[in-house]
Chains A and B, each alone.
Chain A
Amino acid sequence: MAEPLLAITGIGKRFRGLQAVDNVSFAVPAGGIVGLIGPNGAGKTTTFNLIAGVYRPDTGRIRLDGRDITGFRPDQACRAGVGRTFQLVRPFGALSVLENVMIGAFHHDRSPATARQRAVEILERLDLAEKARAEAHSLTLPERKRLEVARALATGPRILLLDEVMAGLRPTEIDGMVRTFTDLSRETGLAILLTEHVMRAVMALSHHIVVLHHGQKICEGTPETVARDPQVIECYLGAGAAA
């Protein structure tokens, strides 16, 4: 079997006395959509930060497309093909929406004209074209979330890490986002790793789900398998989900 696009083996990260991520392994195949779920404090965001280069793992390796990217800086991880969004959105507030996305697009081409064109295309895909000239700080939360995705997409990642991009959105907006990501993945072969508390989105999007609890992987499998797993129901989904 060919090596998966993203292969994570035995990564761990300790903060002082807290083992935030403990010997976690999983993989994301090319074009695959994998959900990373678990209760608050389970280590999802830390796992993201390890992959995106914000922290260096204490143990384990991270490989992207056969290349070892363990311990890369965030900008190096981005260059290697990891695009990420932040859970708390971080737009460049004083710049326009278009400029925000252009900054991501410059990753490919130093020409402003090319970056602008690429940014416009991505804004159209994410329904932000009308807001292109608005200053980023004037956007509503759902728009900011989409901007966060647009900016990451503009860097042309092999894999996109989505950190709770659905949080705070209305159900119709969530459905819209799910459709956007499904289309993206299908049309461009982009792989996606997402953490999300909105189960409706996770179940609709993910081909495969990994469940973390107290920094450890307690279960993984198809959405159906995971939803029936007694341990997952107990620690995360709650009794109601089994009914």
Chain B
Amino acid sequence: MRRRQVFGLPVRVAVALALFVVVMLALPGFVGNYLLSVLVVFLFAAAIGQAWNIMMGFAGQLSLGHALYLGLGAYLSGALFQHFGVLPWVGMLAGVIVSGLAGGIIGVLSFRFGVTGVYFALITIAFNEFTRILFDHLDWFGGSAGLFLPVAHVTHNDILHLRGSPAMFYYLLLALCLASLGLSRALLRRRTGFYWLAIREDQEAAQALGINIFRYKLAAIVLSAMLTSIAGTLMAFYDNNLYPDTVFTTARSVEIIIGPFVGGLGTLFGPILGAFVLTGLGEAMTSVSAAIGVAGVKQWLYGAVLLLIIVAQPSGLWPWLRARLGLEEG
């Protein structure tokens, strides 16, 4: 039952993906500054959601503390750049290594001692929280007053130093999203991906089939932490200011996971679609609430629409949309 394929993808999927990439590549040429900044927010959410999805969507390990890795990536590269002028890309590598280690420590502590489910999620929150408090008191990282990167007057895009226009960040983030998409797909089609799904579905049955569940769960958390950290570095150089209370907040960790849930947990395109819908929804609700003129109405509307989506499509919007478009996730 082999269907026609293009680059290993069913034709319809390949066409849809190509269309998506072309539209995304062209978009900055057609939108103003405001919309571009919204699109950057969307791509940040998509990239981080994809990273988180590897851990929860594929391997079934719920992290409620992903802001930890985002913050480590942001702070390390930001501080190294500010103090020593270390290139952001080198700082990114440092962030990736430290985040991978942090994920590894959390994983070893939890998985070695059989901590699973809700208790594992609590541990991820704990690490997230005490890292926030730690950074509040580390002067080298600016402490609670925050870390500020020198804002250069942008005359041209300097990719080497990550100083440039929002459009430059847009394309860097788009590249990260597409790379994550390719990586996720490649992993899901290999033994590692199958083993992750088995662990997600039933850990004990997976173990009885010879899977070293400790090793595979550890791989998932380390990889997810590393990918999140990359987005963190880009965030540091896009925002130029970092405060422990906004970077490491648990609210951000929760925000990270809503996208993949709305889009479709464990699917390849779900986190991207979820991020798109939520970012768009957030902006739309801002306008609506401004029109109504009641403070706080935005959060209320946002919550209501979120609730509707989850009630109507509990397994996410992407599986539903995918069926409508006649695509299969290959």
A binding-site residues for B, Cβ under 8 Å:
52, 54, 73-75, 78-79, 84, 86, 90-95, 99, 102-104, 106-107, 110, 112, 115, 151-152, 154-155
Query: Size band of the B side of the interface?
Result: 10 to 19
Contacts A91-B205, A103-B206 supplied; 16 other A-B pairs, CB < 8 Å: A54-B204, A73-B207, A75-B209, A75-B210, A75-B211, A75-B213, A78-B209, A86-B208, A90-B204, A91-B201, A92-B201, A102-B194, A103-B194, A107-B210, A110-B191, A112-B189
Q: Are A95 and B197 neighbours in the complex by a CB distance under 8 Å?
A: yes
Cα–Cα, bound, A106→B189 (Å): 12
Interface CB pairs A-B, < 8 A, 17: A74-B207, A75-B207, A75-B213, A78-B210, A86-B204, A90-B202, A90-B205, A92-B205, A94-B201, A95-B197, A103-B209, A106-B194, A112-B189, A112-B194, A151-B209, A152-B209, A155-B209
Say yes or no: B197 contacts A107, CB within 8 Å: no
The distance in angstroms between the C-alpha atoms of A75 and B206, with both chains bound, is 8
Complex CA–CA separation, A78 to B207 (angstroms): 8
Contacts of A92 in B (CB 8 A): 197-198, 201-202, 205-206
Main secondary structure of the interface of B (DSSP, over half): helix
Residues of A within 8 A of B202 (CB): 90-92
The residue among B204, B205, B212 with the most chain A CB atoms within 10 A of its own CB is B205
A52 to B284, CA, bound (A): 56
B197 contacts A79, CB within 8 Å? no
Complex Cα distance, B205 from A151, in Å, reads 10
Q: How far is the CA of A75 from the CA of B211 in the complex (A)?
A: 5
Distance between Cα atoms of A97 and B313 in the complex (Å): 25
B residues less than 8 Å from A110 (CB atoms): 190-191
How many angstroms between the C-alpha atoms of A99 and B191 in the bound complex? 11
Identity of the chain A residue whose Cβ is nearest the Cβ of B215 in the assembled complex: A75
How distant is the Cα of A102 from the Cα of B194 in the complex, in angstroms? Answer: 8
Contacts of A94 in B (CB 8 A): 197, 201
Contacts of B213 in A (CB 8 A): 75
A86, closest chain B residue (CB): B205
